[in-house]
Amino acid sequence: MEKIASFSIDHLSLLPGIYVSRKDKIQGAMLTTFDIRVKRPNFEPVINTAEMHTVEHLGATYLRNESKYKDKIVYFGPMGCRTGFYLIIGEDMTSEDAVPVIKEMFEFIASFEGDIPGAAAAECGNYLDHNLDMTKYMARKYIDEVLNDLKPENLNY
């Protein structure tokens, strides 16, 4: 079998950041998949499942309500390796184009108060696996240490 592109990225040199993982044209529409890398792979602990789950709920809620992109959001969810998230937007974009909406999403997460959207038994298959306090901490850390100081090496593979 042919190796898929994401397994060709050197994960030993990959830094936290925002990367265009791939672009796909489907029925005339361009889809851009973003690699939102929160943790440095193989160098720091991965994100706990409760925090991954909470970011997924809050991030998806934010993105599907955000005025500019809400009708272009195809998917937002966790990476299996638990070092970040994938975001697919139905538009031809660069990493730099996505920075504002991703930063706004993490600001929303870092400052969120109240009940986590969709975190009830009737709405979620694992509604007990959330941790809002640690999610807010992780989001603030990502903003302060990565998003507020993005360099070319945090935006391009």
CB 99 within 8 A of CB 18: yes
Q: What sign does the dihedral 128-122-63-89 (CA atoms) show?
A: positive
Per-residue pLDDT tens over the stretch 131-155 = 999 999 999 999 999 999 999 999 9
Report domain extents, the chain.
5-148
Question: How many CB atoms neighbour CB 84 within 10 A?
Answer: 25
* pTM listed for this prediction: 0.95
| Local confidence band at 47 (pLDDT 50, 70, 90 cut-offs) | very high
Third-level CATH fold of 5-148: Gyrase A; domain 2 (3.30.1360)
